[in-house]
Amino acid sequence: MQEVMRQFGTILKNIVKKPMDFSTIRKQMDANVYKNVREIYADVRLVFTNAMTYNDDDKSDIHVMARTLLERFEEKWLQLIHKVVDAEERQKDEEAQALTTMQSAQEAAIAKLARDTNNELNQLNLHLGELRELVIQSCRKMTTEEKRKLSSGIASLCPEYLFKALEIIAQENPNFQDATEEVDIDIDAQNEITLWRLKFFVKGALENQARNSVTKPKNQAKEADDVMKRKKLIYDALAKTARKRSRKPSP
């Protein structure tokens, strides 16, 4: 008997590619497997078409009954289809509204975050400004000898570090021109915080240059030529500043 049932099942699978019955449909409905009504409609229709396929004699009672029930089912479906379409449209509208609401909430959250971040940055800039003023007030005056060493150190910088040193000067002096052919650097005109920033920067830059000079080849003619040009520029600027100071009348 078991062998007969097994063979029957094999024959059924060969004829009916996707079995379906009302009990399975009910279980899937209870388990919320179906995403929409159209999927239920497709499975109900599959029950009838499977019965017609398995009983392919169109004059047999089962075939005739399955076809009749399918026709009545299709008539009922046509009566319900407009309600299904309306429900689908409402679902789309609700999903679109929910998406719009979610996007609006996200945009509002991003805008709030941007405002909060901007306020925090403004507060930070305010504190940095106060701290900067405090640092300026606490900086001791740089001696004449320290200024002389600083000028010499700037003149010894390679082009890369020299441009960075000029940027430090320009940050505190908006009118400072570092792109002209002749740069006028007046060490005495710089405020104390600029002088100390330059001192620390030049010290580290010269140390890096000393380390790099050990590993780099000595025959880099172009780089050496650039260094000499930039050094001459600095020397000329320092000399010009010195001449200006020497022409000032003594008090």
**136 occurs within a structural domain:** no
pLDDT score of 5 = 40
The answer to whether residues 14 and 75 belong to one domain is yes
pLDDT score of 35 = 87
Instruction: Measure the CA–CA gap between 19 and 4, rounded to whole angstroms.
Output: 19
The domain that holds 10 is classified in CATH as: 1.20.920.10
The answer to whether residues 36 and 97 belong to one domain is yes
**218 occurs within a structural domain:** yes
**139 occurs within a structural domain:** no
What is the secondary structure of 150-217 as a DSSP string?
A: HHHHHHT--HHHHHHHHHHHHHH-TT---SSSS----GGGS-HHHHHHHHHHHHHHHHHHHHHHHHS-
Domain containing residue 36: 2-106
Which residues touch 164 (CB under 8 Å, ≥6 apart)?
201, 205
Extract long-range pairs of 103-108: CB within 8 Å, 24+ residues apart: none
Which two structure tokens, joined as six digits, stand for 30?
Answer: 């209870």
Query: Total structural domains in the chain?
Result: 2
Q: Are 38 and 49 in contact (CB under 8 A)?
A: no
pLDDT score of 45 = 92
The answer to whether residues 34 and 92 belong to one domain is yes
The answer to whether residues 102 and 154 belong to one domain is no
Which two structure tokens, joined as six digits, stand for 41?
Answer: 């409609």
**40 occurs within a structural domain:** yes
pLDDT in tens, the chain (251 residues): 344 344 434 444 556 788 889 999 999 999 999 988 889 999 999 999 988 888 888 888 889 999 999 999 999 898 888 888 888 888 888 888 888 888 888 888 888 888 888 888 888 888 877 776 676 667 678 888 988 898 888 888 888 888 888 888 887 776 665 544 455 677 877 888 888 888 889 999 999 888 887 655 555 556 656 656 665 666 565 555 555 555 555 44
pLDDT score of 1 = 38
